[in-house]
């Protein structure tokens, strides 16, 4: 799979124009060549693995306000399954959208955790490059309502189209359904780097925070708090 080149990002500001918060370029749909390219994409496919490439992490997880080119979702997960006897079995990995039309959040429940044993307790943590769209939020809510033994914590690098009323309503419904949702802190990005990103063989490089990581975390944290209050 071709790797994306990272573009220079503008510094975080106190407020971001609405057009800067969209994950997809809708103008592409008016371009006949681009529309043909989208139509000819292969059937939905989800890439699964244990560790994602360094360049993908640095580009896709970067918590920028202007998210041009980031039309994929990267979802790193930790699943802890606890029996009545207290024994815990854990697993981890990541999912990546093969192209813009796929949804990693829905794929998680279809492929990683398709069923829930009522005799077990499931504690699931997601580290996601951006927050769920309205459709994925609805799928998460339905799963939580049917699976009372599931606890889900979603940590997101940035908010997807957060100014849209439909998205804001979906995020509030997630909270009401019992889903814990918060913005990734600098230490969360470091955790993903250490546990989900490919490292040089025999050597683990230290996480190098980008310049505006803390500033953008505070920006998104404030926006999410305003939406959920």
pLDDT in tens, the chain (229 residues): 333 333 333 333 333 333 333 333 334 434 445 433 433 334 444 566 678 788 888 888 888 877 665 667 889 999 999 998 889 999 999 988 754 455 889 889 988 999 899 999 999 999 999 999 999 999 999 999 999 999 999 999 999 989 899 999 999 999 999 999 999 999 999 999 999 998 766 556 888 888 899 999 999 999 999 999 9
In a domain, 34, yes or no: no
* Radius of gyration, alpha carbons of the chain: 18
CB 73 within 8 A of CB 104: yes
Does a structural domain hold residue 36?
no
How many independent structural domains does the chain possess? 1
- Which CATH number goes with the domain that contains 102? 3.40.140.10
- Among all residues, which ones are annotated catalytic? 105
What are the φ and ψ backbone dihedral angles of 154, each rounded to 5 degrees?
Answer: -115, 120
- Identify whether 165 is part of a domain: yes
> Domain range holding 142?
45-228
∠ Cα 124 179 186 (to 5°): 70
Q: Is residue 22 part of a domain?
A: no
- Token pair listed for 165: 């009323």
pTM for this predicted structure: 0.76
Orientation angle between helical segments 213-228 and 165-176, nearest 10 degrees? 80
Tell me, yes or no, whether 213 lies in a domain. yes
The Cα 93–Cα 171 span in angstroms is 24
């Amino acid at each position: 799979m071709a790797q994306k080149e990272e573009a220079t990002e503008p510094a975080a500001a106190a407020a971001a124009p609405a057009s800067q918060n969209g994950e997809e370029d809708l103008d592409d749909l008016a371009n006949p060549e681009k529309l043909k390219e989208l139509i000819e994409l292969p059937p939905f496919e989800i890439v699964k693995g244990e560790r994602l490439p360094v360049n993908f992490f640095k580009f896709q997880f970067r918590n920028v306000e202007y998210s041009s080119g980031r039309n994929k979702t990267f979802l790193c997960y930790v699943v802890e399954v606890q029996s009545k006897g207290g024994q815990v079995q854990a697993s981890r990995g990541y999912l990546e959208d093969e192209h813009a039309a796929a949804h990693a959040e829905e794929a998680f429940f279809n492929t990683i955790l398709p069923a829930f044993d009522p005799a077990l307790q499931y504690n699931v943590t997601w580290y996601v490059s951006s927050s769920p769209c309205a459709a994925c939020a609805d799928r998460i809510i339905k799963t939580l309502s049917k699976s009372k033994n599931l606890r889900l914590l979603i940590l997101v690098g940035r908010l997807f189209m957060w100014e849209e009323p439909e998205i804001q309503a979906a995020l509030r419904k997630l909270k009401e359904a019992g889903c814990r949702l918060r913005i990734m802190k600098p230490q969360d990005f470091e955790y993903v780097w250490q546990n989900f990103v490919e490292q040089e063989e025999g050597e683990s490089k230290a996480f190098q925070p980008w310049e505006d990581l803390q500033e953008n975390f505070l920006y998104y944290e404030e926006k999410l708090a305003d939406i959920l209050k």
